[in-house]
Amino acid sequence: MADNILNSPKMAEAAKKRALVIGGSLGGLFAANWLRAIGWDVLVFERVEDDLASRGAGIGTHEELLAVLRRLGLKVDDSIGIQVRTRICLDESGRVTHQLEQPQYMSAWARVYRLLKDVLPSEAYRFGATLARLEQDSGGVTAVFADGATERGDLLIGADGIRSTVRELIAPHVQPAYAGYIAWRGVADEWEFPADTHAELFEKYTFCLPEGEMMLCYPVPGRDNDTRPGRRGYNFVWYRPTDGGRGPLPDLCTDANGHCHGMAIAPPLIRPEVIARIKSEARALLAPQIAGIVERTQPFFQAIFDLESPSLVYGRVTLLGDAAFVARPHVGMGVTKAALDAESLARCIAAADGELDGGLARYDLERRRFGTRIVARARRLGAYLEAQHKPVAKRTAAERRQDPGVVMREIGSNAVDLRELTA
Ligand X SMILES: Cc1cc2nc3c(=O)[nH]c(=O)nc-3n(C[C@H](O)[C@H](O)[C@H](O)COP(=O)(O)OP(=O)(O)OC[C@H]3O[C@@H](n4cnc5c(N)ncnc54)[C@H](O)[C@@H]3O)c2cc1C
Q: Toward ligand X, which CB reaches closer, 90 or 159?
A: 159
Q: How far is the CB of 97 from ligand X (least distance, A)?
A: 23
Give the shortest CB-261-to-ligand X separation in angstroms. 16
Please provide residue 275's backbone torsions phi and psi, each rounded to the nearest 5 degrees: -65, -45
Q: Can you tell me the distance from the alpha carbon of 287 to that of 414, in angstroms, rounded to the nearest whole number?
A: 28
- Between 167 and 316, name the residue whose CB sits nearer to ligand X: 167
φ and ψ at residue 230, rounded to 5 degrees: 95, -20
* Shortest Å distance, C-beta 49 to ligand X: 10
Nearer to ligand X, 59 or 249 (CB): 59
Closest approach, Cβ 56 to ligand X, in A, equals: 7
- Report the nearest approach of ligand X to the CB of residue 156 (Å): 11
CA separation for the pair 345, 68 (Å, rounded): 13
Q: Which residues of 268-297 are buried (b: 16+ CB within 10 A; e: fewer)?
A: eebbeebbeebeebbeebbbebbbbbbeeb
Question: What are the Cα distances from residue 91, in Å, to 88, 245, 279, 292, 394?
Answer: 10, 22, 18, 15, 27
The full length of the chain comes to 423
Question: Nearer Cβ to ligand X, position 253 or 352?
Answer: 253
- Give the SS3 label for residue 417: helix
**DSSP secondary-structure letter at 260?**
B
Between 159 and 387, whose beta carbon lies closer to ligand X? Answer: 159
* Neighbour order of strands in the sheet with 125-127: 125-127, 41-46, 18-22, 155-158, 317-319, 313-314
Strands in 131-137's sheet, in edge-to-edge order, are 131-137, 140-145, 150-153
Instruction: In angstroms, give the least distance from the CB of 262 to ligand X.
Output: 15
Determine phi and psi for 68, rounding to 5 degrees.
Answer: -65, -40
Phi, then psi, of 142 in degrees rounded to 5: -115, 125
Least distance from ligand X to the Cβ atom of residue 161, Å:
3
CB-closest chain residue to ligand X: 334
What residues form DSSP beta bridges with 238? 184, 215
Nearer to ligand X, 14 or 157 (CB): 157
Nearer to ligand X among residue 79 and residue 130 (C-beta): 130
Q: Name which of 24 and 382 has its Cβ closer to ligand X.
A: 24
Closest CA to 253 of 268, 238, 270: 270
What are the residues whose beta carbons fall under 8 Å from the beta carbon of 4, sequence distance 6 or more? none
- Closer CB to ligand X, 55 or 223, in the complex: 55
Least Å distance between CB 160 and ligand X? 4
19, β-bridge pairs: 42, 155
Q: Binding residues for ligand X, per CB under 6 A?
A: 22-28, 45-48, 59-60, 130-131, 159-161, 165, 183, 185, 237, 302, 321-323, 329, 332-336, 338
| Shortest spacing between CB 105 and ligand X, in angstroms | 11
Helix axes 109-117, 63-71, angle to 10 degrees: 10
Using the minimum distance from each CB to ligand X, give the nearer residue, 185 or 232: 185
Cα angle 262, 334, 362 (rounded to 5 degrees) comes to 115
Distance in Å, CB of 236 to ligand X, minimum: 10
| Minimum CB distance to ligand X smaller for 88 or for 131 | 131
Q: C-beta of 212: minimal distance to ligand X in Å? A: 18
